[in-house]
Amino acid sequence: MKNEDILALKELLATPKKIAIIPHKSPDGDAMGSTLALYHFLQKENHHATVISPNDFPNFLAWLPGSENVLIFETNKEISTQTILDAEIVFTLDFNALHRTGEMEHVLNKVTVPMVMIDHHQKPDGYAIYTYSDTAFGSTCEMVYNFITFLGKNELIDKTIATCIYTGITTDSGSFRFPSTTSTTHRIVADLIDIGINNSEIHNLLFDNNSYNRLQLLGRALQNMKVFPELKTSYISLSQKELDEFHYEKGDTEGVVNYGLTIKGIEFAAIFIEHRDENIIKISFRSQGDFDVNQFAREHFNGGGHINAAGGKSYDSLENTIKKFEKIISKKTH
Ligand code: 5GP
Ligand code: MN
């Protein structure tokens, strides 16, 4: 982050402010972890902070400290809108363009007070006066740790804040396995453990909380997997009917796309999930190595993300979307 921005933010935050903190729509561990870490930090500094999520967060994150105070825009439009428009500073975390907040975009477009972006996605939009954006980081949570340190307040990071930060670092790094995991990431985590987080319990809360239905749905997803060894590609699909059959709940398909990459020789994996309520096919892409799925998602499926993890959507039927995908990959050269 630029030194002059840090100084300006230090000054802005020197007196108590009303602050709105926004994660992206369908927030993941990093979006929730980073917004709640910042929330606890700002509250500790006597600000009046509120996390406002565009829609509900998955159940497997509901244990995060402070999640009970998160406002959900989709089901609480009036209060959420008022809180955003009353804020004196708006932080947007873990996304790079306002449309990533869905309908909330229209409210955020009306904001006239300073906005701060903390994010690690490519090609950040220019809506924020203060932008801390760097794709070198594996998680926004790691950047929030740095941000608090830049403000000279590292000693305020307590067990609660550290727990939130650890959550996002863990989930966005695939439990410390993705290439963006650096020695610095591990040094920060070492510090979080020294502060007193229960890292083993956090893993347990994040990953060992499957329902029977979720595992059955995973079983179906794996059976649906198609593999194209010569293209080093695999994909999974789940129709709305299948989601219904296994009583799908938000978060149930989280991480399922990664199974495609666990097959030996596969470097590009996708998952297509039909969401009838929104009339879209939600797509996730993952790759290993230099195949840029961010570029692929942008070019073909109205999306974006990172080099090795991206997402997008299609307004066509599940069948046609998959046909389109197969056609594109058949022309792909590795
Ligand atoms: P996921 O597949 O887990 O939903 O998302 C993977 C990565 O791609 C995340 O960093 C997420 O923020 C980004 N991403 C997912 N969907 C979209 C999308 O529709 N548009 C853009 N620009 N990025 C996305
Ligand atoms: Mn993230």
pLDDT tens digits, 293-322:
999 999 999 999 889 999 999 999 999 999
Looking at the structure, do residues 278 and 198 belong to the same domain, yes or no? no
Looking at the structure, do residues 15 and 152 belong to the same domain, yes or no? yes
Calculate mean pLDDT across residues 217-238: 98
Mutation test residue for ligand 1: of 28, 94, 123, 321, the one with most atoms within 8 Å of CB: 28
Structure tokens at 233: 């590609």
Q: Among the three residues 175, 207, 239, which one is the final residue of a domain in this structure?
A: 207
Residue 332: pLDDT over 80: no
Smallest CA-to-CA distance from 46 within 156, 160, 164 is with: 156
Looking at the structure, do residues 167 and 225 belong to the same domain, yes or no? no
Q: Quick one: pLDDT at residue 186?
A: 98
Q: Whose CA is nearest to atom 14 of ligand 1?
A: 311
- pLDDT > 90 fraction of the chain, expressed in percent and rounded: 95
Residue 334: pLDDT over 60: no
Domain that holds residue 74: 3-207
CATH number of the domain to which 302 belongs = 3.10.310.30
Mutation test residue for ligand 1: of 100, 135, 259, the one with most atoms within 8 Å of CB: 100
Q: What is the pLDDT of residues 93-148, one digit of tens each?
A: 999 999 999 999 999 999 999 999 999 998 999 999 999 999 999 999 999 999 99
Q: Average pLDDT of the chain?
A: 96
Looking at the structure, do residues 183 and 217 belong to the same domain, yes or no? no
Residue 79: pLDDT over 90: yes
Distance CA 194, CA 215 (A): 35
Looking at the structure, do residues 178 and 235 belong to the same domain, yes or no? no
Residue 310 CB–ligand 1 contact under 6 Å:
yes
Q: Quick one: pLDDT at residue 333?
A: 60
pTM above 0.80, yes or no: yes
| Residue 145: alpha-carbon gap to chain centroid | 16
Looking at the structure, do residues 142 and 162 belong to the same domain, yes or no? yes
Looking at the structure, do residues 60 and 167 belong to the same domain, yes or no? yes
Smallest CA-to-CA distance from 270 within 213, 211, 321, 206 is with: 321
Q: Quick one: pLDDT at residue 299?
A: 97
Residue 199: pLDDT over 60: yes
Q: Are strands 280-287 and 268-275 parallel, antiparallel or unpaired?
A: antiparallel
Residue 197 CB–ligand 1 contact under 6 Å:
no
Looking at the structure, do residues 24 and 108 belong to the same domain, yes or no? yes
Q: Quick one: pLDDT at residue 290?
A: 92
Q: Which atom of ligand 1 is nearest to the CA of 94?
A: 12
Q: Which atom of ligand 1 is nearest to the CA of 26?
A: 4
Looking at the structure, do residues 182 and 226 belong to the same domain, yes or no? no
Categorise residue 178: left if φ over 0, alpha if ψ from -120 to 50, beta otherwise.
beta
Ligand closest in space to the Cα of 297: 1
Q: Which of 150-154, 230-234, 247-251 has the lowest mean pLDDT?
A: 247-251
Residue 27 CB–ligand 1 contact under 6 Å:
no
Q: Quick one: pLDDT at residue 165?
A: 99
Q: Among the three residues 173, 192, 207, which one is the final residue of a domain in this structure?
A: 207
Q: Quick one: pLDDT at residue 159?
A: 98
Calculate mean pLDDT across residues 199-221: 96
Residue 232 CB–ligand 1 contact under 6 Å:
no
Residues flanking ion ligand 2, Cβ below 5 Å: 30, 94, 140, 172
Looking at the structure, do residues 148 and 226 belong to the same domain, yes or no? no
Residue 88: pLDDT over 90: yes
Looking at the structure, do residues 164 and 266 belong to the same domain, yes or no? no
Q: Quick one: pLDDT at residue 306?
A: 87
Q: Which of 188-197, 277-286, 324-333 has the lowest mean pLDDT?
A: 324-333
Ligand closest in space to the Cα of 124: 1
* Number of domains the chain contains: 2
Ligand closest in space to the Cα of 119: 2
Residue type, 290: D
